[in-house]
Homo-oligomer: A and B are copies of this chain.
Amino acid sequence: MNAARKKNTTELQLGNLHAQLGYHLARASVVTTDAFNACVGHPHQLRKVEYSLLMLLLANEALSPKQLAKVLSLTAPNLTMLLDRLQDRGLILRERNPNDGRSQHVRLTHAGTQLIREADQAAKGMYAHWQSRLSPAENAMLLELLAKVYQG
């Protein structure tokens, strides 16, 4: 009983895992995902990828599914289903590209604009979840270093 209790409180060793970026990314993602769901996801009924998609449309006015699939790392069929759901909720609309009948312009509706603006406001509360452990300067440095990992 005492032995088992002691074992549970013992810090476990990470071995070479402590030097691996992917491991730390996964651990950090658990924290950010929980913070997102608490501040944005549950209150506004948006999953992370839906929030990102609507934020991109807010910043760019109109994007093609092709562009969205690339930046969100989604396959075309999965993006189609995602857009279907957002369209059914009246948050986005799909227009045919007048210059190229194969492609589309995806835009926010008025309701979609309103929702993503509210969600964006709520998202500002997320930083509170880890600001006690990370200073503003450290946070800024972290974002820069992460961008270096995937930009190329």
- Write the residues of chain A forming the contact surface with B, with a CB cutoff of 8 angstroms: 1, 3-4, 7-8, 12-33, 35-36, 48, 52, 55-56, 58-60, 63-64, 66-67, 71, 73, 97, 99-100, 103, 120, 123, 126-127, 130, 132-134, 138-139, 141-143, 145-152
At the interface, is chain A mostly helix, strand, loop or mixed?
helix
- CB–CB A30/B73 < 8 A: yes
Chain B residues within an 8 Å CB radius of A103:
4
Give how many copies assemble into the complex. 2
In the complex, are the beta carbons of A66 and B145 less than 8 A apart? no
From B23, B67, B141, A8 is in contact (CB under 8 Å) with B67
B12 with A146: CB separation less than 8 A: no
Of listed A23, A55, A67, residue having the most chain B CB within 10 A: A23
- A36 near B22 with CB under 8 A, answer yes
- A29 touching B24 in the complex, CB below 8 Å, given contacts A55-B17, A100-B1: no
